[in-house]
Structure formats: structure tokens, C-alpha cells
């Protein structure tokens, strides 16, 4: 079993729909990251969370530390949101601060 | 605009060649990382460095080595490229402890033929 599990693996939506991507993890963490990867490979950091909820534009990220679960929501989805969304967790405060990644969720938003 | 720059977006090399992948960051970050990304496996850590001349093995270091002679530059070396090293390689950097998040490069898609 992976330490970080995402669901669903693939998600297809119509423009305007509300989208939720889930992430569950099995280790103690100091922070959880949501990343976005567009075709071509570059990865952009969307959120870093250690508790509660963060919002940026149409994106909302929540985390429940007790349940070891986080969700990424996209409101009023748009075709330009099509990308792979990756959940990653950082364990502890060691110098290396390694991230452990989920396998990603491929989101396709159709016009 | 702060960034992590990888020297090549696409690279094709022959089996047995020595391959250098270069990564440069301009944020004065202590930590630098090399990952490879393969379908169905996600991102896996090859090596990371938390200071100049310091390095630690990640989850899949076999067949790779790294060099960090200057704080801003972290090089990944494939000593003798093999076809199973065909992959997307991503470099990232962060401050000590990961505070402030991570910044990723655009990736290098390496094909070994």
C-alpha cells in the first residue's frame, strides 16, 4: 500500500462542474502539498497545508489531520484546468525534507 | 521571477553513454532534489542534497550519481545510460526544512536508445 493514495486516478468533467480530488496518507506529516502538472512536464506548487483550509481563486484545499485526508476542490471548472494534480506529503522536519508523492489524478475538463 | 532551470527539455542518448543533467536555482535554496517520473509510478526520489557537497540517496539511486559543487547547481549523472533510465527527470529545490514550499523545474525527457 502506498503511503499516499489519491482518488480518482482519472477524472473527466464538463466545463463549469465542481471537482473534488482526494488524498489519503498513512504517515505522520508536517505538511501536505498539492501540485499541478500540465502536459510538457513542468510542475507548479498550488498549496502547502498543515491544517485547515486554503483558497486561491477557484481552487480550495482542505486537510483533516486526524483523518489523514486532504481534498482539492475546483469550482467552475474550465478546460485550462486540465492537468495532472499530485498530492505530496512532507514528513518531519529533517534537513532533507523529503516529499512522498501520490500517483496523481489526471483531470480532463471538456468544453 | 524565481525559478529552477533544467538545462534540456528533451535529450536522446545512446546506451552506455555518460549523461549529465543540470539543474540551477536562483532562490538561494539549501535543498535540491532529483526525481524521475514514470507512468503508474509517480515521482520517485533519486538523490537529494541539503548543502554544498552534501548528498543523500533517495529511493532509487542505483545507476545514478550527483554533484553539488555550488549551492545553486545540482547535477545528476548517469554513469552508463541504459534503456530503463528512459524517463522524465525533474529537479526541485526548497529552503531548509521545506518551509515556503518547493519549486520544480520544467523537466527533462530523456530517451536512451
The three-state secondary structure class of A103 is: coil
Q: What is the pLDDT of residues B19-48, one digit of tens each?
A: 999 999 998 888 999 999 998 888 999 999
Q: State whether A45 and B104 contact (CB < 8 Å).
A: yes
**Confidence check: pLDDT of A94 > 70:** no
Residue contacts between A and B (CB atoms, under 8 Å)? 65
Is B107 close to A43, i.e. CB distance below 8 A? yes
Binary contact (A41, B88; C-beta < 8 A): yes
Question: Which cell numbers in the block locate residue A37?
Answer: 502538472
The distance of B43 to chain A (nearest Cα, Å) reads: 6
Partners of residue B57 in chain A, C-beta under 8 Å: none
- Separation CA B6–CA A49 (nearest Å): 27
Of B88, B53, B8, give the one whose Cα is nearest residue A84: B88
Position A42 pLDDT exceeds 90: no
Residue B56 and residue A39: Cα distance in Å, rounded? 30
**Residue A92 pLDDT > 80:** no
pLDDT at A1: 59
pLDDT confidence tier of residue A97, bands split at 50, 70 and 90: low
Q: Search chain B and give the residue with CA nearest A49.
A: B101
B40 touches chain A (CB under 8 A): yes
The residues, ordered by sequence, that sit 6+ positions from B90 with a Cβ below 8 Å of its Cβ are A41, A43, B6, B34, B35, B36, B37, B43, B104, B105, B107, B108
Amino acid at each position: 500500500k502506498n503511503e499516499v493514495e489519491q482518488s480518482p486516478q482519472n477524472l473527466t468533467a464538463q466545463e463549469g462542474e465542481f471537482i473534488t480530488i482526494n488524498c489519503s496518507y498513512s504517515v505522520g506529516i508536517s505538511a501536505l502539498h498539492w501540485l499541478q502538472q500540465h502536459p510538457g512536464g513542468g510542475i507548479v506548487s498550488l498549496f502547502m497545508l498543515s491544517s485547515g483550509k486554503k483558497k486561491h481563486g477557484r481552487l480550495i484545499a482542505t486537510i483533516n489531520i486526524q483523518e489523514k485526508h486532504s481534498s482539492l476542490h475546483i469550482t467552475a471548472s474550465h478546460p485550462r484546468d486540465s492537468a495532472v494534480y499530485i498530492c505530496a506529503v512532507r514528513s518531519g522536519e529533517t534537513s532533507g525534507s523529503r516529499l512522498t508523492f501520490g500517483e496523481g489524478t489526471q483531470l480532463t475538463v471538456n468544453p | 521571477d524565481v525559478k529552477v532551470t533544467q538545462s534540456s527539455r528533451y535529450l536522446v542518448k545512446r546506451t552506455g553513454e555518460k549523461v549529465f543533467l543540470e539543474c540551477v536555482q536562483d532562490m538561494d535554496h539549501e535543498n535540491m532534489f532529483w526525481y524521475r517520473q514514470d507512468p503508474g509510478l509517480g515521482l520517485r526520489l533519486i538523490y537529494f542534497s541539503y548543502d554544498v557537497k552534501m548528498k543523500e540517496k533517495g529511493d532509487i539511486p542505483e545507476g545514478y550519481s550527483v554533484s553539488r559543487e555550488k549551492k545553486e547547481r545540482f547535477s545528476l549523472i548517469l554513469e552508463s545510460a541504459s534503456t530503463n533510465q528512459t524517463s522524465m527527470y525533474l529537479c526541485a529545490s526548497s529552503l531548509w526544512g521545506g518551509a515556503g514550499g518547493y519549486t520544480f523545474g520544467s523537466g527533462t525527457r530523456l530517451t536512451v536508445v
